Structure 1
Amino acid sequence: MAAPGVTVFVCVSCRDGDDAHLRPGAALLEALRARLGERKIDIAVEPVECLAVCKRPATVAFAGAGKWTYVIGDLDGGLHLDDVIDSAQSFAATDNGVVAWKDRPDCFKKGVVSRTPPLP
């Protein structure tokens, strides 16, 4: 069973550059699942067809019931895997989804595309 409090949605449809077959989000999804297995961490990770941030691949969203949702772009599966996992764990540990600025890795600080409030 996945850790409560967070689902990481990974956009798998964005393309990078001129290569129509290169999908950075799809590669991030595979690498993220593998790293979670290596670290023996159970976080829900789900592919999504589009997060509408096509110019900033790879993109993820952190979501949880009753929490703010963050959309984060400009992620590199080779560089940011552990940062994404650590950020997801920090997000899950909050009551409202707001992760303190000082507790965010640089890719989270610089990559935030949006923060959406929870439904009432």
Structure 2
Amino acid sequence: MKNKAILQICSTCNSAAVKQNPERLATECPEGEKLLGAVQSAVKADADLDGQLVIQAARCMSSCKRSCVVALLAKDKYQFVVGELDSSADRVDDLVAFAKSYVEAEDGLPQWRERPQHIRKNTIARLHPFPSEFSNDS
């Protein structure tokens, strides 16, 4: 049985071009917010993911030099932090494909070669599954 997964998207991330122009920074919608909307639409349209992937907005994931940043996590699965994303169709497709393979992988570890190239090259961290139980025994 597949566990539902959570995709957290930093909604405050901005692209390098926007960061370098203070006027744009003050007036434009953050790139992370655009990515969030684009991914929500893509997941809703994907019958394999709709209901299996929860999309959440996150505020600043502290990886501003690698923005836009997302985290993908689920109970008893590896967790990923991926950066260098944007709201372009290619990046949204990459992210949705990766999320789909993540949901389908029992341990949340899709085969490396099966991950979209952009995801492979821009994975910031892969964290081991969080222990489901803690023991206070010494």
> Quick check: TM above 0.5?
yes
Map 1:1-120 → 2, pairs under 5 A: 4-16=3-15, 17=19, 18=21, 19-20=24-25, 21-40=28-47, 41-42=49-50, 43-78=53-88, 79-120=90-131
Q: 1 or 2, which has the higher helix percentage?
A: 2
Partners of 1:14 and 1:54 within 8 A in 2: yes
Note the alpha carbon deviations across 1:33-56, whole angstroms, 9 max, x for none.
112233344121100012211111
Partners of 1:11 and 1:26 within 8 A in 2: yes
| Long gaps (5+) in structure 1 | none
- Report sequence identity in percent: 25
Q: Choose 1 or 2 for highest CA Rg.
A: 2
- Give the whole-Å Cα distance in 2 for the aligned partners of 1:44 and 1:24: 20
| Long gaps (5+) in structure 2 | 132-138
Structure 2 length as normaliser, TM-score? Answer: 0.77
The number of residues matched between the two structures is: 118
Structure 1 length as normaliser, TM-score? Answer: 0.88
CA RMSD of aligned residues (A): 1.6
- Give the whole-Å Cα distance in 1 for the aligned partners of 2:111 and 2:4: 16
- Give the whole-Å Cα distance in 1 for the aligned partners of 2:100 and 2:46: 13
Report how far residue 93 of structure 1 moved: 1.2
